[in-house]
């Protein structure tokens, strides 16, 4: 199943780097504590280590920005950000307006049908969500496709996903504390062939 941000490969690499750094640090600490051989480190080892971290930071900044820009460009290319169109945007198979409220999600389809807390889509579709909140700051997260956004009232936030190929019910949840009903603020992405 493809990740909405196209992150699967990149994210695995990032997690590997994090694990490697953690193991390196903990190994260094344990060697310093328990290994009988003593070692006076040179300053250039620290400088070398910092240069390596700078390279990692540069790589992460560059890749993360590129992935995120490409993701947003897909929305911009569809033209929906500038037009008030209710027809499906250029490159998306389906466009849904989402109203997040205390506490739930309502989905408005192209033909102005409303469904609450569940939305039916086809497998492998490119779906654009145009999300609004009328009351407080909410979040919108679909774990199955790995996308999260947070949006404040009064502003539209757009995200898009490629729906899972496997038919089934996928969780949509609010990820920002929005009042006592926060734990109940869920919806379902129903993928049906």
- Segment near another protein (CB under 8 A); pick from 78-86, 88-96, 116-124, 149-157: 149-157
- CB half-sphere exposure, 49, CA atoms < 13 A: 10
In the list 18, 77, 81, 120, the residue contacting another protein (rule: CB under 8 A) is 18
Positive or negative, the CA dihedral 39, 42, 44, 47 is positive
> Rounded to whole angstroms, how far apart are CA atoms 102 and 116?
13
- First-to-last alpha carbon distance for the chain, in angstroms, is 16
> For the chain, how many helices (H) and strands (E)?
2, 10
- Between 29 and 122, whose beta carbon lies closer to another protein? 29
**Would you count residue 141 as binding another protein (CB under 8 A)?**
yes
- Between 78 and 176, whose beta carbon lies closer to another protein? 176
> Rounded to whole angstroms, how far apart are CA atoms 23 and 26?
5
- Between 162 and 182, whose beta carbon lies closer to another protein? 182
In the list 44, 82, 87, 154, the residue contacting another protein (rule: CB under 8 A) is 154
In the list 57, 81, 85, 114, the residue contacting another protein (rule: CB under 8 A) is 57
Task: Look up residue 145 and give its DSSP letter.
Answer: G
User: DSSP 3-state assignment of 117?
Assistant: coil
In the list 79, 90, 168, 179, the residue contacting another protein (rule: CB under 8 A) is 179
**DSSP calls for 73-104:** HHHHHTTTTT----SPPTT-SEEEEEEEETTE
- Segment near another protein (CB under 8 A); pick from 76-84, 105-113, 123-131, 135-143: 135-143
Binding site residues, another protein, CB under 8 A: 3, 5, 7, 10-11, 14-15, 17-18, 21-22, 25-26, 28-29, 31-33, 38-41, 43, 46, 49-50, 53-54, 56-57, 60-61, 63-65, 67-68, 71, 135-137, 139, 141, 143, 146-154, 157, 171, 173-184, 186
């Amino acid at each position: 199943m493809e990740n909405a941000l196209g992150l699967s490969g990149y994210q695995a690499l990032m997690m590997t780097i994090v694990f490697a750094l953690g193991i390196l640090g903990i190994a260094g600490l344990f060697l310093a504590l328990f290994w009988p051989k003593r070692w006076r480190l040179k300053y250039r080892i620290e400088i070398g280590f910092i240069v390596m971290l700078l390279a990692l930071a540069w790589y992460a900044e560059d890749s993360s920005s590129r992935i995120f820009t490409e993701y947003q460009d897909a929305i911009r290319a569809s033209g929906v950000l500038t037009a008030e169109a209710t027809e499906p945007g250029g490159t998306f198979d389906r466009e849904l307006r989402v109203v997040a409220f205390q506490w739930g999600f309502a989905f408005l389809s192209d033909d102005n049908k409303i469904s609450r807390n569940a939305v039916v889509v086809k497998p492998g579709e490119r779906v654009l969500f145009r999300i609004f909140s009328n009351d407080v700051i909410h979040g919108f997260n679909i774990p199955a496709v790995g996308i999260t956004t947070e949006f404040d009232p009064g502003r539209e936030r757009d995200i898009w996903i490629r729906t899972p190929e496997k038919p089934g019910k996928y969780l949509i949840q609010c990820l920002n504390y929005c009042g006592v009903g926060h734990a109940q603020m869920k919806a379902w992405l129903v993928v049906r062939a």
